[in-house]
Each structure stands twice: as structure tokens, then as C-alpha cells.
Copies of this chain bind each other. A is one copy, B any other.
Amino acid sequence: MLKPKAVVLFSGGLDSCVCLAEVIRTHDVALLHLNYGQRTEARELRAFNEIADYYNVTERLVVDISWLHEIGGSSLTDKSLEVETGIPEEDSVPGTYVPFRNGNILAIAASWAEVIGATSLVVGAVEEDSSGYPDCTVEFYKKFSAAISEGTRPSTKLNIDTPVIAMDKAAIVRRGLELEAPMHLSWSCYVGQEEACGKCESCTLRLRGFSIAGVADQISYAK
């Protein structure tokens, strides 16, 4: 039987890696990756391609949205701003927030999904771990999903699925182990290229997840 088609937003990070491992069991998968002038653009793209190769996914689309860099407003894309270390304070929007980035990504994904006939947009967002990002919440995805339904052809039926949104990092690591997801090929660091820095927000959350799950993270960290 023909599987339904899913567009998976695939950064190459841990969360989207485990999402892909989840979704590929039931769907024909197309992978979308975005370059937006982030510091670790090349490293993320490498992770994207290595994991796509691992699963033999041939339908891939890489889109350059580097105007987000030009627009600025985030320490991830503006090299004059410093990337924060550690876990951000509760209820504050972190400096790494890229203004409405996920809105842009979802819009591109919706266009592609409509053309290729996908019925699911899979996003590896994690609400708890992306504390303070306003475009990473369940409520945001719900509102954006309503906008997609309204703004596409009546025959297009497209849902946003967020399989790991309610999980914490440790639960994602455990689920990744169960699914034999190639987490060793994933990249989360906001700073490093060869070795992960181990200190930025994203590394801190990842390392804590592996630590709580009680398994070793197999990527290299700077000493």
C-alpha cells in the first residue's frame, strides 16, 4: 500500500533526527533543510545530508533564507551579538531567537508540501527545551496550521505534526535509542564546527538529556 507523504523539517539536530526515525516507519518522507546564515550552517547541512543518506531519503530540498541574516536581530545570525551560554531564564525570549524564523520555515514547507502532495508537516520542536521561543509552542503550531488550511487549495489537507513537542531531552534520547536513530550523526551546537562547544544553550540541553538518560553522547566535544 502507498504510504502517505510527510515533509520533515530537518535541521540535522538531535530532535529532528529522532522525529525522522519516528516518521519514516509510517510515511514516505521528503526532507527540508534551511540555511539562514547561522554560524554553524555548513556543519548543520553536513548532518542533514549524512542522516538523509543513512535513511536513503532522496527527496531533499535545501532552501537559503539568508535574508534572516540580513534582517538580523538574533545572536545566531548576527555575529556582533554574543551567543548566550547555559539555560535561559524562564519567561524571557533568548537572544538566539531568530525573529519569526519558524513562521518562515513552515511557510516554505507548506508550499513544498502542497506541490508534492504531502499530508503531514513534521516539526521536531520541543516546547520545554526551547524555553522562551514564541514560535516553538503548541499554540503557535495550532495557529499556523489554521493559516495553512485557510491559505492553500481546498483539496490540500496538511497537518503540522510535532511528535516530540511534549518530551524532554532525556525522553527524546531514550526514544532515539529505541528507534536506533543515528544520533551520532546529528549536530546541535550553535557555535562549533568540528567539535561541539559543550557550553552554548543547545549543547547544554543536549548534554543534560544524555546525562539524565544515562547514556553517552557519541559526538565530539571541545575539551
Contact = CB atoms under 8 A, between A and B. Distances in A.
Contacts of A93: 153-154
A104 interface: yes
Contact of A104 (B99, B108, B144): B108
B140 A150 contact: yes
A140 B147 contact: yes
Interface residues of A, number: 42
Given A99-B114, A103-B107, A147 B150 contact: no
Interface string A7-49: 0000000000000000000000000000000000000000000
A102 B152 CA distance: 10
Contact of A108 (B67, B114, B144): B67
B140 A143 contact: no
A132 to B, nearest CB: 9
Contacts of A139: 150
A72 interface: yes
6 contacts: A72-B115, A99-B111, A101-B111, A103-B107, A103-B111, A103-B147
